[in-house]
């Protein structure tokens, strides 16, 4: 049967992909992890992956047994030439057999349910320890706002959290909010996804055991640019994280050379939506730009943060992300260059 071939092939592929954990190195040498749910790097993702393997094994066994029965009956009981057109014995049922194949599934369900309930409780009801990093993630149409209330930091799209280990457990607890439509926070190698729903605050946590960049993206359809609402989680060691926190806490650098750009920024509508710490710009609709150059990507991961991409993005956001809410401001070339230079001073 063709279908059986396809299935075993699928399982082989699955094992192949699970084994290769799909990682590469980013431009700055930090490792970039993929989005494979079977390559967990954090406790919630790990306990989900373990449960998944358990469920896969049980369902795999059920599949093999039922599939074997099906194939056997199709092959064994096919009509043959020598039957002479007689009808087979007419069997109407059997109470014993019916009971057997009712009770066995009930037992399997009990086992699966208990194993699952344990993991649900362990992940969902985990208490927040005192030393945990606390982050508020706010979903916006097509970008992420991250606030660290205890540290006084506001940033966007690229979440920085410290690595956690058995000797120094520093999990990160994220409170999930949304200002517009539903979104979903999904970084597969760190945790299962959790939705960001307006008027319905949610909570999730992760304690990454490995450093590097972890990729993810919005998983709940949220509008035209749902596809380019990407997520990067940078897991840093404790010194790097502390250094990052100190940088982010500072107001924006003041660079005399960028004063023209700053004037363009503040005399156009830019400052209605964007904030730059330490200046009059305090808009809340778009990402905070105080330390814009500390981010590797722009437009929620849609493009790398390079000079050319930044210029294109400001000139015509639709060229990178059609449907994004940032309007094209129709700046003159001189103003455009000035704003780009200003942005490039916001380290």
Residues 6+ apart with CB under 8 A from 246: none
Q: How far is the CB of 287 from other proteins (least distance, A)?
A: 20
Nearest to 146 by CA among 34, 250, 271, 233: 233
CA dist 239 and 189 (Å) reads 23
Q: How far is the CB of 291 from other proteins (least distance, A)?
A: 24
Nearer to other proteins by C-beta: 57 or 259?
Answer: 57
CA dist 341 and 329 (Å) reads 16
Q: How far is the CB of 128 from other proteins (least distance, A)?
A: 15
Lookup: tokens for 83: 């039957």
Helices 333-343, 259-267: axis angle to 10 degrees equals: 110
Q: How far is the CB of 72 from other proteins (least distance, A)?
A: 9
Nearer to other proteins by C-beta: 127 or 280?
Answer: 127
Backbone angles phi, psi at 63, to 5 degrees: -60, -50
* 211 and 232 Cβ atoms separated by less than 8 Å: no
Q: How far is the CB of 202 from other proteins (least distance, A)?
A: 4
Nearer to other proteins by C-beta: 10 or 250?
Answer: 10
Nearer to other proteins by C-beta: 2 or 167?
Answer: 2
Instruction: Using alpha carbons, list the distances in angstroms from residue 197 to 174, 176, 183, 194, 212.
Output: 14, 8, 7, 9, 29
Q: How far is the CB of 280 from other proteins (least distance, A)?
A: 28
Nearer to other proteins by C-beta: 115 or 273?
Answer: 115
Count Cβ atoms below 10 Å from residue 265 Cβ, excluding itself. Answer: 23
Nearer to other proteins by C-beta: 95 or 239?
Answer: 95
**DSSP string of 143-168, one letter each residue:** EEEEEETTTTEEEESEEEEE---SSS
């Amino acid at each position: 049967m063709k279908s059986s071939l396809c299935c075993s092939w699928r399982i082989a592929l699955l094992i192949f992909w699970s084994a290769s954990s799909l990682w590469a190195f980013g431009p700055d040498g930090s490792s970039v992890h993929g989005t494979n749910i079977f390559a967990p790097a954090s406790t919630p993702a790990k306990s989900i992956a373990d449960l998944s393997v358990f469920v896969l094994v049980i369902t795999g066994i059920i599949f093999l047994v039922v599939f074997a029965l099906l194939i056997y009956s199709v092959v064994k009981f096919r009509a043959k030439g020598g039957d002479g057109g007689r009808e087979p014995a007419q069997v109407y049922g059997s109470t014993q057999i019916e009971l057997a194949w009712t009770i066995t599934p009930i037992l399997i369900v009990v086992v699966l349910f208990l194993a699952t309930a344990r993991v649900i409780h362990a992940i969902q009801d985990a208490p927040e320890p005192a030393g945990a990093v606390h982050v508020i993630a706010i979903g916006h149409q097509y970008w992420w706002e991250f606030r660290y209330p205890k540290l006084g930091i506001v940033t966007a799209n690229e979440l920085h959290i410290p690595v956690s280990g058995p000797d120094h457990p520093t999990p990160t607890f994220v409170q999930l909010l949304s200002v517009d439509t539903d979104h979903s926070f999904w970084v597969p190698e760190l945790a299962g996804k959790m939705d960001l729903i307006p008027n319905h605050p949610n909570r999730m946590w992760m304690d990454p055991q490995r450093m590097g960049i972890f990729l993810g993206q919005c998983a709940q359809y949220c509008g035209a640019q749902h596809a380019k609402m990407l997520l990067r989680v940078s897991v840093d060691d404790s010194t790097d994280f502390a250094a990052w926190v100190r940088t982010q806490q500072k107001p924006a650098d003041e660079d005399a050379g960028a004063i023209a750009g700053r004037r363009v920024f503040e005399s156009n509508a830019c400052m209605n939506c964007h904030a730059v710490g330490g200046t009059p710009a305090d808009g809340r609709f778009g990402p905070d730009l105080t330390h814009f150059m500390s981010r590797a990507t722009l437009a929620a991961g849609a493009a790398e943060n390079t000079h050319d991409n930044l210029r294109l993005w400001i000139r015509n956001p639709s060229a990178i992300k059609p449907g994004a809410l940032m309007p094209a401001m129709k700046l003159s070339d001189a103003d455009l260059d000035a704003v780009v230079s200003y942005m490039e001073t916001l380290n």
